[in-house]
Amino acid sequence: MGIATLGSVVLDCPDPVALGRFYAEVLGGQIEDDGDGWVDLTGVPGAPLAFQVSPGHVPPKWPSAQDSQQFHLDLTVEDLDAAEAQVLALGATALDAADTSRSWRVYADPAGHPFCLCAD
């Protein structure tokens, strides 16, 4: 048995409400804004996500041998092409999505955090 349980995965960002809304559109659920620089994404299965304000936030660089990407999220989807169109329309940026023969593609959320869309 472990010492602790996972409370949530917290992403630093310049605008927690905006980033929370992005992930609510991608994953479903609702955002709960505490009004003090912290937003929770609720009503979504899996590990809880939260977003906290970080005024000096510097997005990770991907890929980069000199700078760490810190972490990334793997999001499972049924249709990669349809999911790609939707996340791009929500403000994501393609980082490594040109090879459509792979079962995954890499994007950055609006705050620059990398995430992968992975075929189910």
pLDDT tens across 69-111, in order?
Answer: 667 888 999 999 999 999 999 999 999 999 999 999 999 999 9
Map out the domains of the chain with their CATH numbers: 1-55 (3.10.180.10), 58-120 (3.10.180.10)
Spatial neighbors of 87 by CB under 8 A, at least 6 apart, are 26, 107, 117
Task: Yes or no: say if 57 and 15 are a contact pair by the CB < 8 Å rule.
Answer: no
d(CA 101, CA 36): 44
Of the listed ranges 13-17, 31-35, 66-70, the one predicted with least confidence: 66-70
pLDDT tens across 33-59, in order?
Answer: 999 999 999 999 998 999 999 988 888
- Closest-CA residue to 95 (of 77, 112, 118, 71): 112
Helix (H) or strand (E) holding 86: helix 80-89
pTM score, whole prediction: 0.85
